Structure 1
Amino acid sequence: MGTAGFDQGFLGVECGLPRATEAERRIRELTYLHFTVLLDAGRKLAAVAAANIDGAALRDIARGDDWHLDERVDAAEQTGPEVYARNDLDRGHLVRRRDPVWGPMDAAERANRDTFAYTNAAPQAAEFNQSKELWNGLEDHVLEYASANRLRLSVFTGPVFGDDDVSYRGTRIPTRFWKVAAWADATGSGAGSAPEGQDPARLRAAGFLLDQSPQLDGIELEGARAAARATDAPPPLGPFRTFQLGISDIAGLTALDFGPIPAADAFADAATARPGTSRAWTELHTPGQIVL
């Protein structure tokens, strides 16, 4: 840990870390091999986890399971093992375990270990369904699409911190997570450099949201939460649902400044409108629905 983290020039076009727009947030910037975590110390979870993925140099390494606190940060500012003990909460990787695992073997092994820092985890429902599988495979789908562009991606992810997130063992549990994948499209016009006679690269991106909100009405939800508190169980969570949405909507939900990324959003108008958003959201059931 503590090595060079996320590289904003990795794609060959400008694509930097999102930054918090609220000055009062206590953000700790933690670098790991091939990725960076912006830890929100007040929420004890990452506000942003950002990774560079070199799809042409990925390594197949045994998973391991060595979860550990990051010694550079006070343990009181991290969500550690006590939140996941004796319950059905999953330690959900924010940066996927395999995404930074590329390059020389020693580097890949180190990156693999780094992904098991608790700063790179967030509590998620352990139940797995088709929508969660789709969410976990988004990077692979975009990598396949971007295969003509050096198989390189920069991926940003994190929780949506809600005012109504329920506290459990000292950590407020998010019910929604966002993800933005960015790549350089060498076929379009843009500000990047390119050989003479070729169009310069341009930044392209797509945004997604994973929702595990409980599908209960107000009375049922309060009853379920009360029952959970009485038995030291996690707050109720619902089945996973995955959406594609405008990156500008993600910026609004998270109070993050994504720099030039929203202007590079590949998402077009979609079917299912959501009140109060600048664009429609589309619930995804298959990779074929994704707009890139």
Structure 2
Amino acid sequence: MIPSDSARAAGAVAGTAPGHLMAGRAGYDERFLGLPVPLPMPSSPAVETVVLPYTHFTVVLRPDRRMAAAAAVCIDGERLREDVPRETGWRFDPRLDEDRQAGDEVYRDNSLDKGHLVRRLDPVWGDAAEADQADADTFHYTNAAPQADVFNQGRQVWQELESHLLGTAARGDRRLAVLSGPVLHESDPPYRGVQVPLRFWKVAAFLREGALAATAYVLDQSPDLIWDAERALAGATPGAPPPLGAFRTFQVPVTDVVELTALDLGPLPAADLMPAPRAPQERWRRLRSTDDIVLRRG
């Protein structure tokens, strides 16, 4: 496992002959909020990872899954730029062998989208050159995971989370640290050399009255929570993408993200603003709009 120190990670990735093309990326700043929010890493040292710093964000890649276990981005709401044109092409990260990344062959001629893990606009802040580089950096395959190409209310809520939190939870200096990634489970259905994750997670950290605060979310694209998911996936057409359901977004306890992902989220479980649930069925809160988000302790 490569350590999370960005400076060492930038030049220490195996198979990185052309890695100089990505030189100078500082990556995610663990002290961006003033209080430390460490890069999420697997709790088990046996899990191999590669740490890849970009402009204002870092990806923790699992080579065995050919996609990220986690990504972490610093968002400066006061310096966000909206005038940066969208990058058009996805690319491999030259610091890593292409067969350790899920490239276009996974997404070609099917119903799967390249789902940004770090949202395109989140790291796009600072001066013009810095913002342009951040935008381009989000279009590396290492920052993508397969998602259903449907757009529904659940997915819309997921995409609005950071903007909502910037406008409400972090009114002071409008800074967020957002950790996110796919839930990589052994039972994820295989497709074209990768396993397609059925859930995604996100944890937002910010300061509230000088103290660290956090909220956590899960996006579910499994066939149906009330059906037998294994039976639904077993009925998939050979060679076709796995059947995926409509997106559902939930606010969940940060501790549940830790359990789902086996990642170390440092101080964030203790900073969770979601009230302790009174009953198991209340543990995950379905979000139908950002108005349903809970930003207070019980």
How does the TM-score come out when normalised to structure 2?
0.87
Range with bigger deviation, 130-139 or 214-223: 214-223
- The answer to whether the aligner puts 1:40 opposite 2:62 as a matched pair is yes
- The answer to whether the aligner puts 1:247 opposite 2:247 as a matched pair is no
Q: Could you tell me which residue of structure 2 aligns to residue 67 of structure 1?
A: 90
Change (3 A) 1:219 1:267: closer
For residue 99 of structure 2, give the secondary structure of its aligned residue in structure 1.
helix
Q: Could you tell me which residue of structure 1 aligns to residue 294 of structure 2?
A: 291
Rounded to whole Å, the distance in 2 between the matches of 1:144 and 1:132 is 19
Q: Displacement of 1:242 after TM fit?
A: 0.4
Rounded to whole Å, the distance in 2 between the matches of 1:93 and 1:120 is 6
Change (3 A) 1:159 1:222: closer
Identity of aligned residues (%): 47
Q: Could you tell me which residue of structure 1 aligns to residue 27 of structure 2?
A: 5
Letter in 2 for 1:29: V
- CA deviations over 1:169-192 (Å, ceiling 9, x no partner): 00000000000000011x2xxxxx
Range with bigger deviation, 160-169 or 82-91: 160-169
Q: Displacement of 1:148 after TM fit?
A: 2.7
Quick check: 2:116–2:143 contact (8 Å CA) kept in 1? yes
Q: Could you tell me which residue of structure 1 aligns to residue 39 of structure 2?
A: 17
Please tell me the root mean square deviation across aligned C-alpha atoms, in Å: 1.5
Q: Displacement of 1:224 after TM fit?
A: 3.1
Query: Which of these residues, 172, 177, 184, is aligned with residue 154 of structure 1?
Result: 177
Q: Displacement of 1:270 after TM fit?
A: 4.9
Alignment of 1:22-33 (within 5 A): 22-33=44-55
Rounded to whole Å, the distance in 2 between the matches of 1:248 and 1:107 is 35
Q: Could you tell me which residue of structure 1 aligns to residue 10 of structure 2?
A: none
Quick check: 1:59–1:101 contact (8 Å CA) kept in 2? yes
Change (3 A) 1:129 1:270: farther
- The answer to whether the aligner puts 1:82 opposite 2:91 as a matched pair is no
- CA deviations over 1:202-254 (Å, ceiling 9, x no partner): 100000000000024368515531x2x1xx21111100000001111100110
Rounded to whole Å, the distance in 1 between the matches of 2:79 and 2:233 is 49
Rounded to whole Å, the distance in 2 between the matches of 1:219 and 1:64 is 37
Structure 2 alignment gaps of length 5 or more: 1-21
Change (3 A) 1:289 1:168: same
Q: Displacement of 1:31 after TM fit?
A: 0.2
Change (3 A) 1:257 1:222: closer
- CA deviations over 1:47-104 (Å, ceiling 9, x no partner): 0110000011011111122200001011111110000000010000000000000000
Quick check: 2:78–2:174 contact (8 Å CA) kept in 1? yes
How does the TM-score come out when normalised to structure 1?
0.89
Quick check: 1:271–1:282 contact (8 Å CA) kept in 2? no
Letter in 1 for 2:222: S
Alignment of 1:134-283 (within 5 A): 134-185=157-208, 187=209, 201-215=210-224, 216-217=227-228, 221-222=232-233, 224-225=235-236, 227=237, 229=238, 232-270=239-277, 273-274=280-281, 280-283=283-286
For residue 148 of structure 1, give the secondary structure of its aligned residue in structure 2.
coil
Aligned residues: 270
Rounded to whole Å, the distance in 1 between the matches of 2:278 and 2:152 is 23
Rounded to whole Å, the distance in 2 between the matches of 1:176 and 1:168 is 16
- CA deviations over 1:103-146 (Å, ceiling 9, x no partner): 00000000000000000000000001011000011001110113
Letter in 2 for 1:254: T
Rounded to whole Å, the distance in 2 between the matches of 1:271 and 1:243 is 17
Rounded to whole Å, the distance in 1 between the matches of 2:279 and 2:85 is 40
User: Where does structure 1 differ by over 4 angstroms across 4 or more consecutive aligned residues?
Assistant: none
